[in-house]
């Protein structure tokens, strides 16, 4: 699918949504489509690994000293402290992928999005996924059946706060049909790859050669 | 294809390219794809109708007095004088289509693009189509076999001047494969329909309703 000749800089594709709106499923679909050649950005965290998690797949698990040193050295694109644990995104692997003209997928919230946009504004494309209704969001959270009534209420409360942030995003998708939302995401990625500012360097060289023919 | 719920404002999709780069073919493909629901903007002109042309399809043919009155009343989105004839795009039909949340296709050059962008900046999406090489551009012009050697040289001269304007566009496509370029255009249209600023009004109402549930 990637016909972006001449060379271009990669896209940082950020997906955000309240939990239950479909972000996790859409992220998995995007990653499983090998033609898209998307690399998921893996966060580092100081929290203990759960038995269901694999180091380097779900997170890279690091010590607090190491985390704080990386953060203070400006090596993180974004970071947050949640319940006494640190979470963050190392900058170097993302930069390496972008420089190859390949694209990175980020699954982060609006606070992370803000930080990444500050550091990589020209590369960032942010998409917010909305549920079709709060009723449907509640139904999806209940269907998962992994959370207690209290936790679901808490998640819905958080969802409302996050939904209110939709204006901070470049694109907004109302996820009332998973296949259609997936096709929208693919179109957004394909279009953004063709954006002129992203292709300035390669295109400059290409046009110069063209006009010297 | 258009799943942009809630309602949005339409897109003014501008295609520009030097002659021979594939713009006319791509325009026809876009219009023939009924699912895209694109309306081609029809220009008005003061030049005489050719026998191969139909009024209201190729152009709307109007008198010079009528043209100048429309222009001076600010009723044209863009206009130009070429070899003593006037050409222009009336604003009202375009506005009517955009207000319905439907999209308009413009087949104009960089000078027209500038004028339209000045008047409809938030609605405009501009795409520049480049040939893969000048050799290929010349071959395409020669294959048409409709122009004399002199005219072809003149067209190539103009092409160079137009190509130098690629930086004024939102997207740039190197048309080395027609199907791929067509798919890129469809992706650009689909993505732009989802852009948050274009959906601000409808989305505002939708989110308000969502949060009041």
B118 contacts: CB under 8 Å, gap ≥ 6: none
Q: Does residue B78 lie within any of the structural domains?
A: no
Tokens 């007095």 locate to: B65
Residue A120 within a domain: yes
Which among A163, A173, A196 is the nearest to B207, CB-wise? Answer: A163
User: What percentage of chain B reaches a pLDDT higher than 70?
Assistant: 98
Question: What residues of chain A score a pLDDT lower than 50?
Answer: 1
Please indicate, yes or no, if residue A72 is contained in any of the structural domains.
Answer: no
Is B158 in contact with B82 (CB distance < 8 Å)?
no
pLDDT cut 90: percent of chain A above it: 78
**Is A169's Cβ below 8 Å from some Cβ in B?**
yes
Q: How far apart are CA A172 and CA A11, in angstroms?
A: 17
- B123 within domain boundaries: yes
Q: Is B117 at the interface with chain A, CB within 8 A?
A: no
| Average pLDDT, rounded, for chain B | 92
**Spatial separation of the C-alpha atoms in residues A203 and B161, rounded to whole Å:** 16
pLDDT tens digits, residue range B178-189?
999 999 999 999
Q: Are A116 and A77 in contact (CB under 8 A)?
A: yes
Q: Give the domain extent around B22.
A: 12-41+101-212
Asked if B18 has any chain A CB less than 8 Å from its own CB, the reply is no
CATH number of the CATH domain containing A117: 3.40.50.300
| Contact (CB<8Å) A196/B166 | yes
CA distance A91 to chain B (A): 27
Yes or no, beta carbons of B130 and A187 under 8 Å apart: no
> Residue A200: inside a domain, yes or no?
yes
> What is the tens place of the pLDDT at every residue in B29-57?
999 999 999 999 999 999 999 999 999 99
User: Predicted ipTM?
Assistant: 0.87
Residue A144, H or E segment? helix A134-144
| CA dist list (Å): A59 to A62, A67, B118 | 9, 13, 48
Domain count, chain A: 1
Q: A185 lies in a domain?
A: yes
């Amino acid at each position: 699918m990637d016909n972006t000749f001449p060379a271009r800089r990669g896209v940082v594709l950020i997906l955000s949504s309240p939990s239950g709106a479909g972000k996790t499923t859409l992220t998995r679909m995007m990653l499983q489509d090998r033609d898209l050649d998307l690399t998921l950005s893996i966060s580092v965290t100081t929290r203990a690994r759960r038995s269901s998690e694999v180091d380097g797949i779900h997170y890279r698990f690091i010590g607090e000293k190491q985390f704080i040193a990386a953060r203070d050295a400006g090596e993180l694109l974004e970071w947050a402290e949640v319940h006494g644990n640190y979470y963050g995104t190392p900058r170097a692997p993302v930069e390496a992928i972008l420089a190859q003209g390949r694209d990175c997928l980020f699954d982060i919230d609006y606070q992370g999005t803000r930080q990444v946009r500050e550091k990589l504004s020209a590369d960032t494309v942010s998409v917010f996924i909305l549920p079709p209704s709060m009723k449907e969001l509640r139904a999806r959270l209940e269907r998962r059946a992994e959370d207690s009534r209290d936790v679901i209420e808490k998640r819905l409360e958080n969802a409302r706060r996050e939904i209110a942030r939709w204006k901070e995003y470049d694109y907004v998708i109302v996820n009332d049909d998973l296949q259609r939302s997936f096709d929208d995401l693919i179109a957004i990625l394909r279009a953004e790859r063709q954006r002129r500012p992203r292709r300035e360097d390669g295109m400059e060289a290409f046009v110069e050669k063209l006009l010297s023919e």
